[in-house]
Amino acid sequence: MKLPVTCKFDIVIAGGGAAGLAAAVKAGLLAKSQEAPSALRIALIEKKEVPGKKLSATGNGRCNLSNIACTEREEVDSFFDCLGLLTRTDEAGRMYPYSEEAGEVSALLTETARDLNVEIMTSCQITRVVPAAEGGFILVTEGKGGTFGIRCSKLLIAMGGKSYSTFGTTGDGYSIARKLGHRVTRLAPSLVPVEVKEDLAPLAGVRAKAKVSLLHCGNLVAEEEGEVQFNKDSLSGICIMNLSRLLVLNPEKSFEDAFAEYELCLDLVPEYGTEEVKAVLGRKPEDQMLRGLVRKKLAGYILERTEGAETAAALLKDLRFTVSGTKGWNDAQVTRGGVVLDEVKEDTMESKLVEGLYFAGEVLDYDGPCGGWNLHYAWQTGLRAGRAMTEALWGAKE
C-alpha cells in the first residue's frame, strides 16, 4: 500500500465512545500495573473533535450508565469504582453517575485514558483497514493533515452503530467488518418512536400512563407499562421504544403495509376492569367522568369515537393504533443488528476469523432495552477487549 505510515502502535482502539474509552482505560491500567517487558503504545482514534459525544447525550444528559439487573456486574462496578465514579440507582434499578452529568463521565474517561498515556487522536476518521502481510493492520486514516496510514498489532473496532449520526456514528464499523470477512446482520433503527396509521394530530403533546400491548396479527407479542407520549404521527415514551425493538418488517408487503400486521393497544386505566370503568362512566355524563380519568385532549378523542359509557369504557381499556413504521436513524437510540456474535469470542471479544482484530459495543449484533442495558454492554465488551488485547501482547494476567 503506497501510503505514508506516520505512526505505529501496539494497540489501536478505533472509536472513542463508551466501549472504546472503557477499553482504552482498561488497557492503560493493565499496562501500568504490570512489569512491562517493553513500553506499550496505545492509541484511541476518534472521528469527532472530542471523544464520547454520544455518551455525553445519554439519559437526557444524565447518563443511565447501567442497570442493577444487568448480568456480570462485577467488572463494570469495579471499573466505575477504580475511576472514582460514584453512582446512584433509582427505584427502577437504573444506575446514574452520582452527579447525573453525562458530560462528566465522558470527560473522566478521556482524562483517565490520557493520564495512562493513551494517545488520543481526535478529528481522525478511519476509512479503511487492511491486514498487513507481516501481521497486524494498516489503517487508512483521514485527519487534519490529510490521508495517512497507522500501523498496529491489535485493533479494536468500537465505532458504534448507525443512529444519531451527528455524534459520529455513521455505520463505518459495519463496512470495515464486512471487508475483513465478517457477516453483519440486517440493520434497523431500534428504541425508536413508532409511527401509526391513525391521525394523531389532535393528541400531539399529550402524555398518558398506560399498559401497552404489542399485537401481531391479533396475537400478543409483548406488554410494557409506562408513560406514552403522543406526537403528530408517532407514539413514543420508554414503553413504546422498548416495544419498537420487536417490530419486524414484512418484506413481502409493500412499503406502506410492511408493519401493518402490528397494532399497539393502550389500556389507559390498567388498574380497573372494563365493568368497573363502565360503572364509573355511567355515574354522570361520560364527558365529565372521562375528564377525571384522562387528559382533556384524550377525553375529546375518545368521545368523538364513542356512543355511550359502554363504548367509552371499551376504548379506555383498548385504544388501538395500527403500526405504519418507525422513525428513522436520527430518532433511534440504538441500532438493531450488527457483527454476528458467533464470529467473535465471547470472553475476549477477539474475532474468530481474523487474529488480532477485536469488536466491542454497539457495532456488534446486540441491542438492549432502555434502562442502561446498552451502555452496560458497551462497558462490558470494551473492558473485555481492553484486557484481552493487553494480555495477548504481554501474556499479562491481572
Ligand X SMILES: Cc1cc2nc3c(=O)[nH]c(=O)nc-3n(C[C@H](O)[C@H](O)[C@H](O)COP(=O)(O)OP(=O)(O)OC[C@H]3O[C@@H](n4cnc5c(N)ncnc54)[C@H](O)[C@@H]3O)c2cc1C
Q: How many helices (H) and strands (E) does the chain have?
A: 10, 18
Residue 125 or 351: which CB sits closer to ligand X? 125
Least distance (Å) between residue 236 CB and ligand X: 12
Residue 358 or 373: which CB sits closer to ligand X? 373
Least distance (Å) between residue 301 CB and ligand X: 29
Residue 12 or 266: which CB sits closer to ligand X? 12
- Residue 141, helix vs strand vs coil: strand
Least distance (Å) between residue 287 CB and ligand X: 39
Residue 213 or 236: which CB sits closer to ligand X? 236
Contacts of 296 (CB under 8 A, 6+ apart): none
Least distance (Å) between residue 57 CB and ligand X: 5
Residue 158 or 302: which CB sits closer to ligand X? 158
Can you point out the beta strands (E) in 159-277? 188-190, 194-196, 207-216, 219-230, 234-236, 262-267
Least distance (Å) between residue 172 CB and ligand X: 4
Least distance (Å) between residue 113 CB and ligand X: 13
Least distance (Å) between residue 378 CB and ligand X: 4
Least distance (Å) between residue 47 CB and ligand X: 4
C-alpha to C-alpha distance for 302 and 311, rounded to whole angstroms: 9
CB 241 within 8 A of CB 333: yes
H helices within 131-273, ranges in order? 172-179, 238-244
Residue 169 or 234: which CB sits closer to ligand X? 169
Residue with cell 485527519: 143
Residue 63 or 294: which CB sits closer to ligand X? 63
Least distance (Å) between residue 156 CB and ligand X: 10
**End-to-end CA, the chain:** 38
CB 19 within 8 A of CB 344: no
- From residue 155, alpha-carbon distances to 17, 55, 179, 193 in Å are 15, 22, 15, 35
Residue 44 or 313: which CB sits closer to ligand X? 44
- From residue 36, alpha-carbon distances to 30, 142, 155, 383, 397 in Å are 10, 32, 20, 20, 12
In the complex, which residue's CB is closest to ligand X? 17
Residues of the shown chain interacting with ligand X in the complex, contacts defined by CB under 6 A: 14-20, 45-48, 53-55, 57-59, 64, 125-126, 158-160, 163-164, 168-169, 172, 333-334, 361-362, 372-375, 378
CB 358 within 8 A of CB 349: yes
Residue 267 or 350: which CB sits closer to ligand X? 350
H/E stretch holding 302? helix 296-304
